[in-house]
Amino acid sequence: MPISLGNFQRFKDKVAQAKGRRAGLMSDIVKLEDKVEQLNEQIINTTEAHTIIRTVAQQTQQSLEFHINSIVYAALSIMKEPYEFQAIFTPKRGKTEMEMFFVRNDEAFDPLEDSGGGAIDLASLALRMVVLSLSPQYAKVIIIDEPFHNLSQGLHEPVSKLLTELSSKLGIQLIIVTHNTTIADHADNKIVVENGCIV
């Protein structure tokens, strides 16, 4: 059956359209391949960045653990039977949390459950000083009222020296309200108030 000139032209037009679509699809394929290559590079870069961030975070946590543990341990070391202190960072629910323990005779325990008030007083003040020393946006001042009322009389002299040392080492000004003359005598400046008046 002979092909008419009109049919031939329509067939030729369809072939040209198909070639045009094919060229468009080939162009799209090249663009998509480029996009896949870019995304693969982003995945590699993101994975490498995540690894670096995780490594830096672990190193920072280790450094922070050491900083916290050493300062709180220094505070607790004045006790007659000193506790060790451990701050341990653990990832939980997508966040890093810090757990704190006292250790004595190789046994770790919650400080609030099984330790004397004096040890808790020492540890809590040392922790406040650590946090403040790591927070550059805040003024380096701590105001405390009768901080060591749970500490035995024999430890007032060592704790006074400790306060002076930590204050100097961490660059923190301590303002202490106390009736304890031993602690007051170690102050750089002392203001005595009697009956609401400065003496």
* Contact criterion met (CB below 8 Å) for 192 and 199: yes
Packing angle of the helix pair 5-76, 117-133 (nearest 10 deg): 130
Please classify residue 82 by burial: count the beta carbons closer than 10 Å to its beta carbon, then call 0-12 exposed, 13-18 middle and 19+ buried: middle
The residue ranges of every structural domain in the chain are 51-198
Average pLDDT over residues 59-67: 81
Tokens found for residue 115: 């330790």
* Contact criterion met (CB below 8 Å) for 148 and 156: yes
Which residue reads 């901080």 in tokens? 147
Average pLDDT over residues 58-71: 82
Q: DSSP assignment, residue 107?
A: E
| Class of 51-198 in CATH | alpha beta
- pTM for the model stands at 0.66
**SS3 for 178?**
coil
Share the mean pLDDT of the chain.
Answer: 85
Confidence of residue 5 (pLDDT cuts 50, 70, 90): low
Is residue 28's pLDDT more than 80? yes
Shortest CA distance to 160 belongs to which of 143, 181, 132, 130? 181
